[in-house]
Amino acid sequence: MQFPVNLNLTGRPVLLVGGGRIALRKSQQLLACDAQLTVVAPEVVAEFRQLPVTIEQRRYAAGDCAGYRLVVTATGDTTVDQQIFDEAEALGIWVNSADDPARCSFTLPAVVRRGNLLITTSTGGSSPALSSWLRRRLEGEIGPEFAGVVDELAAERERVHAAGGSTEDIDWNPIIDAVVARHTAAALVVAR
């Protein structure tokens, strides 16, 4: 059983080992979280050159994990992934190896982002295809208007705190219902 958590990677050093298409997708996910990303790979796809990452075009070397808060591998080479996993584990660094749950201290869920709203689905690495299928379903149900819902509810929460109140004593359900209805109605008008 895995423990769900959302990590704050803003400005934190993250190592990505691999330079192909899967690594590129992982880099985009990490950069969306404002990670300070270093990519180590003998070859990188051209799109990496457009990203705000540090590229070290070479093979992974022992000791490369040191100093990073998180490591992600997308090498497709189980020998390299095992070396990285062992090193990261010894250093107490969380590591994920793409499509290789045996060499992961954490797995990555499928994600739907709407502003500050983050919805994830996970099978703990057992069936990434199911997680992706669920993500696609949720993307159709949870539209971009929910970014505004989160912002409006955050502002309401701040007003309560500024007035010295506790948000724990409020029945949020009718407030959320009203805000969601207002934003979804506005989205429908725009769509017409």
Q: 130 lies in a domain?
A: no
One domain for residues 85 and 162:
no
> Which of 76-80, 125-129, 188-192 has maximum average pLDDT?
76-80
Tell me what pLDDT residue 90 has. Answer: 97
Within a domain: residue 140? no
pLDDT grade for 25, boundaries at 50, 70 and 90: very high
Cβ–Cβ < 8 Å for 19, 42: yes
Q: Which of 51, 83, 108 is the last residue of a domain?
A: 108
Establish if 134 belongs to a structural domain. no
How many domains, the chain? Answer: 2
Report whether pLDDT(2) > 90: no
Rounded CA gap, 118 and 174, in Å? Answer: 22
Q: How confident is the model at residue 46 (pLDDT cuts 50, 70, 90)?
A: very high
Q: What is the pLDDT of residue 99?
A: 86
pLDDT of the residue at 190: 72
- 112 phi and psi, to 5 degrees? -115, 125
Q: Is position 115 within any domain?
A: no
CB atoms within 10 A of CB 156: 16
Q: Are 104 and 86 in contact (CB under 8 A)?
A: no
Clarify whether residues 98 and 30 are in a common domain.
Answer: yes
What residues pair up with 72 in beta bridges, in sequence order?
16, 96
Q: What is the span of the domain harbouring residue 14?
A: 1-108
Sign, CA dihedral 154-157-159-161, equals negative
- 35: pLDDT strictly greater than 80: yes
Q: Reduce the DSSP state of residue 167 to 3 states and report it.
A: helix
pLDDT recorded at residue 52? 97
pLDDT tops 80 at residue 112: yes
| Boundary-marking domain end, from 48, 79, 108 | 108
CATH code, domain with 21:
3.40.50.720
Number of Cβ within 10 Å of residue 174's Cβ equals: 9
Q: What is the mean pLDDT of residues 5-34?
A: 96
pLDDT at 85 (0 to 100)? 97
What φ, ψ does residue 97 adopt, rounded to 5°? -110, 115
pLDDT digit string, tens, across residues 120-154: 999 988 898 999 999 999 999 999 999 999 999 99
Q: Is the pLDDT of residue 60 over 80?
A: yes
**What pLDDT shows up at residue 50?**
96
38 and 99 part of one domain: yes
* Coil/strand/helix, residue 163: coil
Using alpha carbons, list the distances in angstroms from residue 100 to 82, 130, 136, 164.
10, 16, 23, 49
Same domain for 92 and 158: no
> 172 in helix, strand or coil?
helix
Where is the domain boundary, 108, 138, 170?
108
